[in-house]
Amino acid sequence: MYVAALVFGILIAAVWLGSIFIGRRKKEYAVGFFHPYTNDGGGGERVLWCAVRAIQAEDPDLACIIYTGDDATPQSLASRAHRQFGVKLNSLPKVMRLHRRHWVESRTYPFLTLLGQSLGSMVLGMEALMQFTPLIFIDTSGYAFTYPIACLLGCKVVSYTHYPTISSDMVAKVLSRRAAFNNNLVIARSCFLSILKAIYYQILMISYGLAGRCVHLAMVNSSWTKSHIEKIWGIHDRIKLVYPPCDTRTLQELPLERNSTSIYFISVAQFRPEKAHGMQLEAFANLLNRLNKGNNSDPVRSGNIRLKLVGSCRNEEDKGRVVNLKQRCSELGIADKVDFLINVSYRELVELLGAATAGIHSMIDEHFGIVVVEYMAAGAIPIAHNSAGPKMDIVVEQSAGKVGFLATSVDEFASAMMEVINMSMEKRMEMASLARERAKLFSETQFDQDFKAAMSKILAEIRSSHKENVCT
């Protein structure tokens, strides 16, 4: 702990001395949204645009600044928000281009990746705040090591945390010596290397906690994330649970009926390793093997069933993962039954969800799981991993019955898919109806209300301060 505190203290001292050298910058009447990747197409980007819209509605005079590493304009970002997520901004945001985004990319750090990205985010945060220093600095991407910088420069610091950068769960997984996408086989097989990595994680977690304590308000997206952030940051009185915005309004207008002779399962997720697309492919192959052993007179069992993987590719690494997944389909003998739909428009996504029989989401410890809610709102039976957000907040059995399925292994996912196929139309409609009703708890309207309520005190403080400054 002392080592972590010393390292973190040296970094903050350097930032503090830098801020003195540069000078105490004048803060503009604006809110700065730190979101280096404004084209990631995920739930985090939806949060960004809904948050911008909420701020614009609360105070039209408060400028909204977007710090992004993408080559974007105010017009292109506003157009993307509407086209990709159905979010219409009240006015155009201002754009501050970040040229050092590579400092937070994992490929920049082949070793000690989390540490490198954390320190790199401080460089990127300094670049952002030296270009433009707002009264309120809102991080919507989880770069906690930027908070001390913003705080030292006099900003009100707000975070919307989707997922803790480092947690005790990660330490436990390393000590259990389980190989995973973030714990390679070489380390997992070595007791010494596992202990060394656990110590490294522990030091990083303490530093992360110290950075988190610099926020004036921390919004979290799920009960699971809230429990971790409370434990690591130790700021119980400054944490608010604000469920992320899900497009339940548009999706709930879709009919619940589905084509019983042409069934497909849909998976909506960015093509990132933690989304566990490989598990979905194996589960689907398992399902087809079971169906092939059954009654081939059934149109479903005669091969009229598909899996559609829908997602965005952020970079060349993501594109490479798609190539590898297609190769895996060939190895499993299911290449002719799996569709890859990359970077589809919002309208296309709605159409795909509206015809899907069920939706699959297999990420372990998914912090919340916006797409699981979207499945439910669209009438697609959710099949999600039995952990974190889906387990604690979303796919929760109601007094009237189940709203979906939770699974852990390939076999369990395949069994859930089989159960959905074998459901009568009446049973499936009943479950889909219950799921749709629960999805209303996670609407954009609810996010808007909760976000504004959480921000009300800080917005009132800066309005008051701004009026005093104008008067003087």
What pLDDT, in 10s, does the model give residues 292-344? 886 544 545 546 899 999 998 878 888 999 999 999 999 999 999 999 999 89
Distance CA 289, CA 267 (A): 20
Residue 177 clears pLDDT 90, i.e. is over it: no
Give the pLDDT score at 392.
Answer: 95
What pLDDT, in 10s, does the model give residues 58-105? 999 999 999 999 999 999 999 999 998 889 999 999 999 999 999 999
Q: Where are the domains of the chain?
A: 2-245+445-471, 248-442
Q: For the beta carbon of residue 99, count every other beta carbon within 10 angstroms.
A: 10
pTM: 0.78
Two domains, one topology: 2-245+445-471 and 248-442: yes
Confidence band of 188 (pLDDT split at 50, 70, 90): low
Q: Higher model confidence: residue 246 or residue 143?
A: 143
Strand order in the sheet with 381-385: 338-342, 305-311, 263-268, 358-361, 381-385, 405-407
CATH number for domain 248-442, candidates 3.40.47.10, 3.40.190.10, 3.40.50.2000, 1.20.1050.140: 3.40.50.2000
Residue 30 clears pLDDT 80, i.e. is over it: yes
- What CATH superfamily classification does 2-245+445-471 receive? Glycogen Phosphorylase B; (3.40.50.2000)
For range 10-21, the mean pLDDT: 54
